[in-house]
Amino acid sequence: MRALVDIPDQDFTLLQNVVKRLDISRAEFIRRAIDVSLAPYRESMTHEAFGLWASHPVDGLAYQEKVREEW
């Protein structure tokens, strides 16, 4: 996906220097920065899903079979 973003001139200049030093493209640097920034959210969102049915008195498999009967 492509995205248009506004980057302050001072940050853009620094970005240009860093990518030159690392010998990578700006796009690669930004992809890496996004990956690092989103990492804590990926893990927390995954953990939120575990135990979702713990408070439900219905067995998960029984519920699944019941719902499929409606098809």
Instruction: Determine the pLDDT at residue 48.
Output: 66
Segments forming the whole domain that contains residue 42: 9-69
- For the chain, give the number of residues: 71
* 2 falls within a domain: no
pLDDT along the chain (71 residues), means of 10: 94 98 97 93 70 75 86 80
* 1 falls within a domain: no
pTM for the full predicted model:
0.59
Number of domains in the chain: 1
* 61 falls within a domain: yes
On whether the CB atoms of residues 3 and 10 are closer than 8 A, the answer is no
Instruction: Determine the pLDDT at residue 54.
Output: 73
Instruction: Determine the pLDDT at residue 28.
Output: 97
* 4 falls within a domain: no
Q: What is the CA radius of gyration of the chain?
A: 22
On whether the CB atoms of residues 30 and 16 are closer than 8 A, the answer is no
Tell me the C-alpha distance between 41 and 35, whole Å: 10
Instruction: Determine the pLDDT at residue 61.
Output: 85
Instruction: Determine the pLDDT at residue 46.
Output: 64
Instruction: Determine the pLDDT at residue 71.
Output: 80
